[in-house]
Amino acid sequence: MAGGGSNEVKLLGFWPSPYVLRARLALSLKGISYEYIEEDLESKSELLLTSNPVQKAVPVLIHDGKPVCESSIILQYIDEILAGVGPSLLPEDPHDRAMARFWASYINEKLVKALNQTWGGKTEEEKAEGMKQAADAVETLEGALKDCSKGKPFFGGESIGYVDIMLGGLLAWADVREVVKGVKTFDPAKTPLLAMWSDNFGTLDAVKAVMPNIGKLVDYAMVMQPHGAAAAAAAAAAAVAATN
Amino acid sequence: MAEKGVKVFGMWASPMVIRVEWALQLKGVTYEYIDEDLGNKSDALLRHNPLTKKVPVLLHDGKPIAESAIIVEYIDEVWKDGYPIMPADPYERAQARFWAKYADEKCNAAIYPVFTATGEAQSKVVHEAQQCLKTLEKALEGKKFFGGDAFGYLDVIVGWYAHWLPIIEEVSGASVVTEEELPLMKAWFDRILAVDVVKETLPPRDKLLALNKARREQLLSA
């Protein structure tokens, strides 16, 4: 990492978490070496509890002993600390930056919430509503991709940026959703640009280096399911909600 | 040809809108303020923010930006030679953004029920709101403002509490920010209300009180 000091970087994570994946994607893209510490969310480490006392959640980036929490904030922090090293995550132009932040916020507020509801909804109606909201959000993001990419493959243009990573972090669970529920989150028939985007995203070396094993993630999702609908839904929602 | 200049689409009683006005006024930016009737939104607002249709929207040289916290960062970046709103240090910036998110997501959700709770339910929601604000208050320790010696980003984001919370308390009969429970926050309220850009933009207290009284009655009778 650029700059003085010990420059020691640790990332507290939980391998199924899409938010932790976002942090790992950013670190991978910037080529930073770091110590990854897998947390047992049922038995959180002292380091996690003292580094993120407010939410006790992962991911937490610890840089020279100082913790940064929340995936969107970690990404911006990494980008600012490493301005000039590797591709810039946020665009140069202030208006484009504002739009990137807007879409990142939209992804969290609309898409993530809806997808969580498809897994953790207490009733079939709630899950179905989640599915509908997710489909609507993806449709809106198709338009956003068209606007932001300006004909290039990614929201960030030629290379992946902040919005790509905020959305890309969800791709592993999108694959799981296809396997377990038979639903394509980025359907080429409905949102062709996003379907191509997800393929392009998946082929990048920096991405392949950190993507969790989909088979393993499917097993994890299935373990959450069979212990009765209410308990499983609660467990799945809790596991995802325990990370940010 | 895109029109030049800065416009703010707002609503006089909205704390989210006031953040944008504070940021612009700190930078000394001249802007046109358009007050919206949220029950009958203008074509311009709907055109500039078709996705959420909410205020505030900043229109700068014809380009719209929505979401108050995002607008504030934008203003700080565009008028970068003016008053510094965001902290200079990346770690401090991360902290400011973290607390802004915490306040907007957790504290606002905890404060809202105080507005409508009555009787025994009220003390429970008041306690929860206080717990949230106590957590936020930690970021004030040893400082005059969340931004340190000077009014900064996090003050812009949560400064609305200083004017709006006492009104919510008066309307609902609840006591949230007290000397005993939240001494740092209470002292900070006084400093916030003394800041020039704050004094110049706050909606009149009596008008805001009347609006919130009416809104509360409406919600309770629904």
CA–CA min distance A189, chain B (Å): 23
Q: Do B94 and A68 touch (CB under 8 A)?
A: yes
H/E run at residue B214: helix B205-221
Edge to edge, what strands does the sheet with A9-13 contain? A35-38, A9-13, A60-63, A66-69
In 10 A of CB B121, how many CB atoms? 11
Coil vs helix vs strand at B44: helix
Give pLDDT, residue A183: 95
State the DSSP string of B169-187: HHHHT---S-TTT-HHHHH
| Beta strand A35-38 pairing with A9-13 | parallel
Inter-chain touch A77–B66, beta carbons under 8 Å = no
Which H or E run includes A8?
none
**Considering only alpha carbons, which residue of chain B is nearest residue A75?**
B94
Q: In which region does residue A221 sit, left (phi positive, over 0), alpha (psi from -120 to 50) or beta (all else)?
A: alpha
Cα(B57)–Cα(B45) distance, integer angstroms: 8
Residue A103's nearest CA partner among A158, A57, A41, A161 is: A161
Q: For chain B, say whether A95 makes contact (Cβ under 8 Å).
A: yes
Asked if B74 lies within 8 A of A70 by C-beta distance, the reply is no
Nearest to B114 by CA among B179, B165, B186: B165
In chain B, the residue whose alpha carbon lies closest to the alpha carbon of A64 is B91
pTM assigned to the model: 0.94
Q: Chain B within 8 Å of A113 (Cβ-Cβ)?
A: no
pLDDT of residue A226: 52
Q: Do A76 and B94 touch (CB under 8 A)?
A: yes
Q: Is A2 on the interface with B (CB under 8 A)?
A: no
Count CA within 13 A, CB hemisphere, residue B173: 9
Indicate the residue type of A126: E
Is B67's CB within 8 Å of A101's CB?
Answer: yes
Do A77 and B74 lie within an 8 Å CB cutoff? Answer: no
Chain B residues lying within 8 Å of A106, measured CB to CB: 51
Query: Cβ of B91 and A94 within 8 Å?
Result: no
Could A77 and B91 be called an inter-chain contact, meaning their C-beta atoms sit closer than 8 Å?
A: yes
Q: Given this model, what pLDDT does residue A227 score? A: 47
pLDDT per residue, tens digit, chain A (244 aa), is 444 445 799 999 999 999 999 999 999 999 999 999 999 999 999 999 999 999 999 999 999 999 999 999 999 999 999 988 888 999 999 999 999 999 999 999 999 999 999 999 999 999 999 999 999 999 999 999 999 999 999 999 999 999 999 999 999 999 999 999 999 999 999 999 999 999 999 999 999 999 999 999 999 999 876 544 445 555 556 666 666 6
* Count of beta carbons in the 10 Å neighbourhood of residue A8: 13
**Range scoring the smallest mean pLDDT among A211-225, B136-150, B161-175:** A211-225
Q: How far is B96 from chain A (nearest CA, A)?
A: 10
Residue of B nearest to A136 (CA): B51
What's the order of all strands across the beta sheet hosting B6-10? B32-35, B6-10, B57-60, B63-66
Contact (Cβ atoms closer than 8 angstroms) between residue B123 and residue B181: no
Give the per-residue pLDDT at B13. Answer: 96
